[in-house]
Chain A
Amino acid sequence: MRMPSGLMLALGVSASLIASAAVSNAQDKTIKIGGLLPMSGPGAYFGAQDKQGVELALEQVNKTGVNGYKFTIQYEDSACGPLPATQAAKRLLDQYKPDVIIGEECSDATLAIMPTVEQAKIPLINAGSSAIKITDPGNPWVFRIMPNEVMQGVDIATRAYDRLNARTAVLLNENTNAGIGNAKVFKETFEKLGGKVVAEIGFGRDVNDFTSIATRVAGLGKVDVIPTYTLEGQGLKITQALAQAGVVKGGDGAAIQLGTIWLPFGFEQKAGKAATGYVRIVQFDPTDQRPLVRDFVSAFKAKFNADPTHINAHAYDQIMLIADVVKRGAKDAQSIRDTLATTKDFVGVTGSVEFDKNNQNTKMDTIHYMETKPDLSWTALKWN
């Protein structure tokens, strides 16, 4: 059993890469960011958009640098799965030696690498995984800047009961960690308030045709709200099918579809008339008039010729948060972690950040309720 020559070659190459990185380190001060993102498989949906937000943010912070520091990033494909994420994380930690890592998107991948980053004592900033376990109990090195499934689910269920006077609900969720977790929190909260969940319908990510599911929902009689936990692709099909079946307002029915932060800006335009009356929370509102958001939107449009999504915005905020921490004096993994933990008044394009003792962002100003009008524009509902 000889060692494969390819392996030797790779070792040689990576050793020289590490060496050259060390040399450049000595010349100018750099904060190295590891980008642990899904780049292959269906999870590339997240990774590709994260990358755009990261690139824009890096371009901006590196124009002047922060406290004399420049920022670099190396991406590794973590493929939304525990084993590939572990391999990608170890490669980053071993060879690139980042000061801070951003990622993963999928909850199970994030949970799988948490012990690894904790052991390596490198802070991880997450903006895409909603599983409660990530910050409860969590570990001292892992920070989450978006609301977790409990924060989101409790809020949506309460608003549905209070503001929409909903008493009956049908839950539609993809059979994933996030889909099941969010649906469960909604159900618990809604039932505690006195509402009734008429049916819970879970489905795999390989389901394409939602006509049958819409037919089943239509057969359940009068339903007030339909909380839906899916990504954009299946979300489009569900909304259209529910409209065709005459269940939701977009199809002249009575039910209101409720959505989570998973859907991007522009969903309504893709879904068409079927989306009318859809109420959903967004974490990023590209029509937000704050100068910070206006600047981000116009810079993003100039660079990518498209409106930014919440995923773009989250990635942008992750880098900006790192820059903010460096501005406050952090310079290596330990000080980045410690400074992150004391974050109180960071304002990003998605909202503000203040961590609790478990490193969960407690700010709820990231949640905005929107209703889709018949002309497919948004109305802010100002429920929060």
Chain B
Amino acid sequence: MTATIVAQQAINGIVLGSLYVLVALGLTLIYGVLVQINFAHADFVTLGAFSAYFFMHMLGGSYLASIGVALIVGAALGWLINVAIFAPLRRRGSELLPLIATIGVSVMLQNAMLSLFGPVPYAFETPYSQQVFRVAGTFFTMQSIIIIVVSTATIGLLYAFMKFTFLGKALRAVSQDRETAGLMGINPNQLIMLTFVLASALAGMGGAMLAPVLVLTPFAGASVIVKAFAIVIIGGFGNVEGTILAGLLVGLIESFTTQYLDPGLIDIVVFGLLLLMLAFRPTGLISERREENV
């Protein structure tokens, strides 16, 4: 009995954690390259979720295709926020200005969605969320298998892109050492744009993946953003591998805190861990050569 409970909560935590990873990776990418935070990132998740919803339920598209739609919507939003907010403010040098400007964007987006879509939660049904498998006392849905497969594939692709392509290497170079990157003849502006598009595409896609799990309202994304911040930090700012590990870890903390303590204590455990990390291992779960930021 106890073993199956532990196994079940491990499954629950990993499914939830992979969703968190998708949301947090975008924040990490932007932070890694720019040392800036897009506060509206969570609302891109929500917009991704809604675009998937409307693509499926109004246009009759399939769920898997709707993930692609959300990805494109997210990418477009990433392009827009860079052109409208981050690029104009980059010359000013303060990392706080884009933060505050995107707080404004976030308020605007949430309330625009409230006007457009209303506050009543949408039931995002996929053909997969009611398909339950029962194996050795544990249970999981087809939806959770899709979540694991798609997010693993996405994370794998992203990882391969960062490791093996020229652009990916350039991104890593910029995030690790901006001056050297400049010397390598990389156009930082194009790289930054790429970062925003990638990061926000991940957010949009994460929205489509989260939509059947989330309580889908205009405030849906905002409910995961605090955890996403924690994941980015525990993972060690801008560190992709660390973020993946931290995301899964936070998912597991959530399921095991629910099982053995109390769901009300999830954030206390997560942020308690975060403070401990800061105290004893401020470089994050996996340290890179990023001493200049410590």
Contacts and interface: CB of A to CB of B under 8 A. Distances in A.
B12 interface: yes
A216 interface: yes
A42 B262 contact: no
Contact of B223 (A175, A208, A236, A272): A208
B118 A245 contact: no
B43 interface: no
Interface string B248-271: 000000110011001110110000
A177 interface: no
Contact of A213 (B118, B220, B263): B263
B123 A244 contact: no
Nearest to A215: B8
B17 to A, nearest CB: 10
A272 B125 contact: yes
Interface footprint category on A: 35 or more
Interface string A232-248: 11101100100011100
B139 to A, nearest CB: 6
B141 A244 contact: yes
Contact of B120 (A41, A49, A205, A216): A49
Interface stretch (A26-34, A118-126, A196-204): A196-204
Interface in B88-128: 111, 114, 118-121, 123, 125
A42 B217 contact: yes
B9 interface: yes
A208 B259 contact: no
Interface of A is mostly: helix
Contact of A215 (B5, B134, B210, B267): B5
A209 interface: yes
Given A212-B12, A213-B258, A236 B123 contact: yes
Contact of A212 (B119, B130, B210, B254): B254
Contacts of B13: 212
23 contacts: A40-B111, A175-B264, A201-B262, A203-B264, A207-B263, A208-B215, A209-B16, A209-B254, A211-B12, A211-B15, A211-B16, A212-B9, A212-B12, A212-B13, A212-B258, A212-B259, A215-B259, A216-B258, A233-B215, A236-B123, A240-B130, A245-B139, A271-B123
Given A202-B264, A207-B263, A215-B12, 18 more contacts: A48-B120, A201-B258, A202-B263, A207-B266, A208-B220, A212-B13, A212-B259, A212-B263, A213-B258, A215-B9, A215-B258, A219-B1, A232-B120, A237-B213, A244-B139, A272-B125, A273-B130, A274-B130
Interface of B: 1, 5, 8-9, 12-13, 15-16, 111, 114, 118-121, 123, 125, 129-130, 132, 134, 139, 141, 210, 213-217, 219-220, 223-224, 226, 254-255, 258-259, 262-264, 266-267
Interface of A: 40-42, 44-45, 47-49, 175, 201-209, 211-213, 215-216, 219, 232-234, 236-237, 240, 244-246, 251, 270-274
